Structure 1
Amino acid sequence: MCALRVHVSHYTIGIAIKCFCHLYRTNDAFALLVFCFRRSIVPDVFIFSALLDGLILEDRILEAEIFFKKLIKRQKLCEPNVVMYSTMIKGLCKIGNNVIAIQLLRLMDERSCRPNSLQRQNDDAFKLFKQMVFQKRISPDVITYSSLIDGLCGLARWEEASKMLQEMLDVGISPNVQTFTILVDAFCKEGKVQEAEQVIGIMIKNGIVSNIVTYNTLIDGYCLRGEMSKAKTIFDSMVFRGLVPNVVS
């Protein structure tokens, strides 16, 4: 194409790089990345994802981790998407590096990187959680549990979410306001406002102060059901507890 002076786009390069990676020729794929920069072709997330996958396929996990960290630090170059995170987590689990894998799961949540296949992502997360607890003896914390509860709520797996909350309490990990707000929000979106109120009751019982977000979520839940008097009662309760209503309230 170059010899014929045919324009080479990042799309064309991306296909070639993916082919090289699938043929276990990742070094050749990286040579094409250099070609991109020399020709002022801006590589996209598809290209970087293919390169990362190529390194994982060749069991070059350490190189993949270094490459991934460079991408995270240089966000102007490429913001890793859910596919890249999942690929890197899979590679880390492959060599038993579950500590870094858990850190990446947390980083995904911090960067609001939402999975495009929620069921599969949560199943992978639970497998990782079990390895973490039972095989590696790594103690999960409130962030780990909250992330899993959020995933279960997103799949409407209420019973499992409740069990996960109880498990937190049983092992001595206190849910924080974010954990409870996840549950309140999920219940309200499903029209289960009474269950949401029960969650707030548990918060109060455990000495955890609900924030404005928690109350706004519950108020919104009642408004969606058309129960305005109930919404007003929650609003008054919020004010009584010293919380200042905001524009959302």
Structure 2
Amino acid sequence: MTRTMYDGVDASRLPADAQLVAGYVDGAYAWSAADWARFPQSVKVRIAVFSSTNDGEVLDVEPGNATPAESVDWVLMRRRAGVDPTVYMNTSTWPTVRSEFSARKVAEPHYWVAQYDGIATLPAGAVAKQYYNNNQAGYDLSVVADYWPGVDPASGTTFGASLRRNDMHVDLKPNTPVVFTNPAAVLGGTSTMLLASDFGDATVRVATFSFKQHAWTVVEHTVTANGGAVSLSLPADTNKVSVNVTAGNAPVGLDVLA
């Protein structure tokens, strides 16, 4: 089963009752709050065009916007912010983007590809495909999977957004790794990992394994005693997590909410 998504630089040209709408969070065509408000019932997909923008669910990779190499840094940044990101590019650029992730040994994001062939069919490995462009009407059309991770609410989750259960608490000690199985891999939803310190600053190395991508992602996070907890999303395809304090002598509290 698939859905239809409209996107364009002018929000007023898109139908207000669209299933999904995509617009920009930065750049010359950034949508205003009023633009987004035109679509109260639509699933909203927010696109960043600059790799330095720590916002949005999708990065636009095309000439004049982000580059394939920059997409890796943006994906890592958005994952640190707790987002399950997607990269958009045309099908001819897709292999280049994928090779950048492979070269840096970073788990690939979701992909929204563009190929204006008029065929509303998803290619293997893509969550959305932009298949139709109509400059006169002022919008593009994409076919979208029934479930888009990072855009749609987590499927199968057993707890509402306002109620999360604490499934685990551990006080991490420096240079003593903690390895655990992500509860989301069992529950079918998304877990959230929190890292916090009350007694000093620390650097925490987090390694996650995606059985969907068959790859590890390793990211270091700075946890400060004067700041809030670092929040990390653990998607349902993340089944193993390794956490280790690599710098600093302060104990760091690790909590997993499901």
Q: TM-score range by the shorter chain?
A: under 0.3
Task: Answer 1 or 2: which has greater strand percent.
Answer: 2
Q: TM-score, normalised by structure 1?
A: 0.25
Higher Rg: 1
Q: TM-score, normalised by structure 2?
A: 0.24
